[in-house]
């Protein structure tokens, strides 16, 4: 069955970087885009970017460009979202989600990774 | 840039009642890319409706979606207590996917 499993919670200081992993299984990895979504405490969902795992190539939302990147472990089906120059406003849950070309929507989601930025 | 606006922000209804949630886009969008998600506290979002009106696998038939162009609606025909959640619509624009701000439904 399709699964997206994310790495565990992280705590970082302001100015540091954090790396969140998303490991996919149960489908052909390169055939489905992955969306990265951020949800600050008590807030809504925000699309940070969309990754084509084949590259990986990512289109990022303008407000994140310059301090976010996505890499891939080529020996596995794992993507890594790295966010640098963290501020308190980066405290949030981060989700990865799989795009379905059949439904043009995101049909499977990771469980989320909580990132806390605290001094 | 497309802006997606949901209303109302909060909706309080009783079991058995009908819920109508609205999603408006700032410009005409493709129905193919209009999706609705349900999110319960402490959980990841769950796909409910895709292509504006198609229920995802396993979604009860009390959930339905309609609309086109700039106006879309999610209807829950007879509310169950487990429908308490926040509902988000999502549209595609400029190579990214844009969420509305959500409607919190309290049963």
Give the per-residue pLDDT at B94.
79
Residues A29-79: tens digit of each pLDDT? 999 999 999 999 999 999 999 999 988 899 999 999 999 999 999 889 999
Give yes or no for a contact between B73 and B65, defined as CB atoms under 8 angstroms apart. Answer: yes
Give the per-residue pLDDT at A56.
86
List chain A residues with CB under 8 Å of B87.
none
CA distance B14 to A17: 46
Read off the tokens for B100.
Answer: 């509305």
Q: Which of A95, A97, A103 sits opposite B50 (nearest CB)?
A: A103
Q: Does A57 touch chain B (CB under 8 A)?
A: no
Give the per-residue pLDDT at A18.
98
Taking CB atoms and an 8 Å limit, are B44 and A95 in contact across chains?
A: yes
Give the per-residue pLDDT at A118.
98
CA pseudo-torsion sign A79, A65, B34, A40: positive
Query: Looking at residues B80-87, what average pLDDT do you find?
Result: 98
Query: Looking at residues B52-81, what average pLDDT do you find?
Result: 97
- CA distance to partner chain A, nearest, from residue B16 (Å): 27
Q: Which of B32, B95, B101 sits opposite A104 (nearest CB)?
A: B32
Query: Looking at residues B66-91, what average pLDDT do you find?
Result: 97
Summary count for chain B: helices (H), strands (E): 0, 11
CA distance B55 to A89: 35
Angle at B4 between CA A117 and CA B5, to 5 degrees: 95
Interface probe for B, chosen from A104, A110, A111, A113 (most Cβ of B below 10 Å), is A104
Size of interface A-B (CB pairs under 8 A): 65
- pLDDT more than 90, % of chain B: 93
CA distance B51 to A17: 37
Read off the tokens for B17.
Answer: 């009642």
- pLDDT more than 70, % of chain B: 100
Give the per-residue pLDDT at B1.
83
List chain A residues with CB under 8 Å of B96.
47, 49-50, 59, 61
Q: What share of chain A is helix, strand, coil (3-state, %, to 5)?
A: 5, 55, 40
Q: Does A16 touch chain B (CB under 8 A)?
A: no
Q: Is B81 helix (H, G, I), strand (E, B) or coil?
A: helix
pLDDT band at B17 (very low <50, low <70, confident <90, very high): very high
Give the per-residue pLDDT at A6.
98
């Amino acid at each position: 069955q399709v699964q997206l499993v994310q790495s565990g919670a992280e705590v970082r200081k302001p100015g540091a970087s954090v790396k969140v992993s998303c490991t996919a299984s149960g489908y052909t990895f390169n055939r489905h885009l992955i969306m990265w979504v951020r949800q600050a405490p008590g807030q809504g969902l925000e699309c940070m970017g969309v990754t084509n795992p084949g590259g990986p190539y990512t289109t990022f939302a303008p407000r994140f460009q310059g301090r976010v990147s996505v890499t891939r472990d080529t020996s596995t089906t794992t993507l890594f979202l790295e966010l640098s120059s963290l501020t308190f406003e980066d405290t949030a849950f981060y989700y990865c989600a799989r795009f379905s070309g059949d439904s043009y929507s995101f049909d499977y989601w990771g469980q989320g990774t909580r990132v806390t930025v605290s001094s | 840039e497309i802006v997606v606006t949901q209303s109302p922000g909060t909706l309080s209804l009783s079991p058995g009642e009908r819920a109508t949630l609205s999603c408006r886009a700032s410009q005409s969008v493709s129905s193919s890319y209009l999706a609705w998600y349900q999110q319960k506290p402490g959980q990841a979002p769950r796909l409910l409706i895709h292509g504006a009106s198609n229920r995802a696998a396993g979604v009860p038939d009390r959930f339905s979606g309609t609309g086109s162009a700039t106006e879309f609606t999610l209807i829950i025909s007879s509310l169950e207590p487990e429908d308490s959640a926040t509902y988000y619509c999502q549209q595609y624009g400029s190579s990214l996917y844009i969420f509305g701000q959500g409607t919190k439904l309290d049963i």
